[in-house]
Structure 1
Amino acid sequence: MPIGAAVPSPWSERREVSPETSRLLIERAHEELVAGNAADHRLGDVRVLVRDSWRRSLESLVAAEALPPLDLTADELEAYRQGHPLAAVIDMVRGLLLPGDASESGVAVAVGDAAGRLLWVEGDRHVRRLTGAMGFVEGANWSEDAVGTAAPGTALALDRSVQIHGAEHFNRLVQPWSCTAAPVHDPETRRLLGVIDVTGGAQAVTPQAQLLVDATARAIEGELLVARLKERALRQAQGPGHSGQGPGRTTRRPTARRPEPTRATLRVLGRDRALLEVAGDGAETVSELGARHAELLLMLAVHRQGLSADRLGELVYGEAAAESSAVTLRAEMVRLRRTLAGAAPALVPESRPYRLGVELETDAHQVLSLLDRGAHRVALAAYRGDVLPDSVAPGVEEFRDTVRTALREALMAEASIDVLLAFADTDAGSGDAELLRLCLSMLPARSPRRTGLVTRIEKLEADS
């Protein structure tokens, strides 16, 4: 290849793959199985690998249109993948599977851990936007137990590379896509480390695609082994007094097990009495908070850098009433501390400024994180309603508007028509004439849903 020439993408040659049976036969077999007809003769038209995976999916009570759970928040994801063994080879994955202009490769490439959680998702921007709507995003769980038959989870379940063609997916939301995946093992112990997946159209399930993904998995294992051998050689050269962590550092004896860190979530979407969920050191508690305590705790969660007493008073009571409510605020904070001391001691606010000593996640922040990752359908499903809808605290009203606006703008800019239609049926979207017009413009000319949209738009215009 001439120096300076563009690197060709391995996915640019689009070869059609003929499935072992037609898409229609597979879809009919899937419908019969989901309907409870496990003995239907049509299942004989489905590959054994797929049929067995469908049955495992049913045994795991996977819904036929289930969205994958988001197991890792943005902060958890960043911390977890930095320490994951596959972090050291992510550049190799990019170089082998996404050479050249990855943003126009036609496929999405994902790297997941041994539990099926996606740690990196990169590749074609358009494909990532569309697959993100069904929850194919970093931090989501794509194991068979979570979403049913799909290449990442099925490859981990069988401990071998697999290809899943469109209609073979158990989850109907995933059936427009095809994928190839291969597991990655520890090169010495053969313990599962994770999985490499390529998702796209027909080009993602060619025989060449499977060879390439398999070769990438083997190359990763080889690179991990070489790095490990080099590390051992360096330690041996440094002598027994070194730990391999740098000059002058010696190994330490193991310490006693530390308590599991507290993980706390405040649920405020569609609720006036927020729920505080706290998990840590093997225990989990759920507490319902009063309206004022919910407002105070939410403001501390939103303003993680801390708030002065004056500013917190303005956010909760309003600027005009903040000064006269200073005594009331102090009394409420005393009561909130007392409540948290029993339910979640790690969350008891510190003073000067008021702030939380540990991170408090909210379900509203989770929606914003999902939107940032392009998981529009999952974000909409997680949006249970407005933030503390009956609260008139200025800070809550501002945050409520921020979340609702972010959801609306993200969906209108990038979401697919079916997600937009689902949003139009929510309280947040039902009275939005601009949203309804966008849906109308995206629907096919003969869609039966157009009539209903036109009627709703006309009614909104008449009432305005």
Structure 2
Amino acid sequence: MSDAAAVASRIRQAYENFLSGITPPEDSVRSVVRESWARSLNRGVDPGEADPDKSSTPTMSESEFTEYRAAHPITAVRPLVQSLMVDAIADSGVVVALTDQVGRLLWVEGETGARDKASHINFVEGSVWSEEVVGTNAPGLALAVDRGVQVVGPEHFSGAVQEWSCAAAPVHDPLTGHVIGVIDVTGGREVAAPFALAAVRSVVAAVERELQSKAVDLADPSTFVETIEGARLTVLTDQGYRWQRAGASSRTLSRRHAEILVLLQAFPEGLNTEQLALKLAEDGIDPVTVRAEISRLRRDLGDDVVGSRPYRLTAELSSDVGDIRARVASGGELESVIDELGRGGLLVESAAPGIVEIFEELREDVRSRVIAEGNVGALRKWTSSIHGRDDLAAWRRLEHRLPVGHPDRAVAGGRIRLLDKRYGL
């Protein structure tokens, strides 16, 4: 058995074990593939078939697709891709595909026989080859992890595609960093060679340089994706974390997705993968995990919610956390702010370092204003809250602000003595 055949046999065994519920050994298959298998399985992708027609992405009529494809920014680089790659593989039996940012195949290029063969697995213009729809494949995985990847034979999640190999890399808007699509080469054993991915990466680099040199204006993804207007994030309740588009019903968010959105709203300039990883976990998390979470967030909320390089919000977003920060900064009344902080929600429940920092800064801003302004109502509210009940400086300020003989002044004095005794101050 040749080395290549032995590797394929090992991967196929790992794949079969995985589908049987047996965790394959770490050295049996690449981690990027194993993690993609897990995401595919969790999303309910059928390993028996690759059916891009099952995509939740809105379907288009032939005329709508033609119009959409013509207007899509990746179409502007098609002539360059043809000259750099398509012409060179004219008789090789492989196809070159250009996708949009959700994995929809906009162009499938190659000689007629190769395209006909690809059509047998539904690898045709207009079909959606995202990881969420057909499982592990190069175009979908490149979008999921935002980097060039190669998927060889049995590494595909769908058994129907395991006779194929593919290599793909994402194309980024040079002005905004948004992923606008993928360049992919798909074929047989010839695409399993290492040079295939290197060739795709070289073409992508040339394409991105061309886009930059011509200053192609791709800055606003609203030219080819439905944008979000008036989205609202609610995380300071005991009823879960909610996301709502204008005019649509709300959606429940996972804690991790709520954390990401709060962090990106707090850092409008954006966070790169490493920065976001460190703000989500004390020791950081794997960059691939960060990219996978962003991919799932885009899948759940829309592709126009979060941009790339760095990750940042690309949609109008208001939130209850943002409202509180704005009210505190603008000098608004504090009693309702203290009530809202007392509800807890994500700011109390999350252990993510970035969220903890946001909470600590917000709490300290509220406390500083309460003590500095000396408003009796706000001082009472603060000292009766979970955040201020042991705040000695606030109790002393409240005692000072209450008139001599007021019954609450005696209560404040008693609490001051208790805190002095308890903490030895």
Larger radius of gyration: 2
TM range (shorter): 0.3 to 0.5
TM-score when normalising by structure 2:
0.48
